[in-house]
Amino acid sequence: MSYSLGEIELRVFRGLLEQRSVEEIITALKDDFDDVEGQQQQLRALCTALQHSALFRLLLRRTDVPRLAPRVPGSVAGEELVNHG
């Protein structure tokens, strides 16, 4: 597996680490790089690829998005295990 991250890709990655939205990342890139407008589709694809990457998925998961509680091994339908010992 190989990742080639240039300056723009690193800025996108940093924006995702900072839990910025894709729109916020693209807007910030427009301040420093030319033709961001013409590369929006590629930038969105990059964000999606990084967010769903097995390597980065847990690192980049957003904390403001509600999630189901993790399932406890041995629980039934989300019931918590109680230790009676």
CB atoms within 10 A of CB 26: 19
pLDDT digits (tens, 9 = 90+) for 39-53: 999 999 999 888 888
Question: Would the pTM of this model clear 0.75, i.e. be above it?
Answer: no
Confidence of residue 68 (pLDDT cuts 50, 70, 90): very low
Q: Are the beta carbons of 8 and 33 closer than 8 angstroms?
A: yes
* ∠ CA 37-21-69, rounded to 5°: 150
Q: Length of the chain in residues, anyone?
A: 85
Predicted confidence (pLDDT) per residue in 16-34, tens digit? 888 899 999 999 999 999 8
Dihedral, CA of residue 35, residue 55, residue 69 and residue 12, to nearest 10: -20
> Is the CB of residue 57 less than 8 Å from the CB of residue 51?
yes
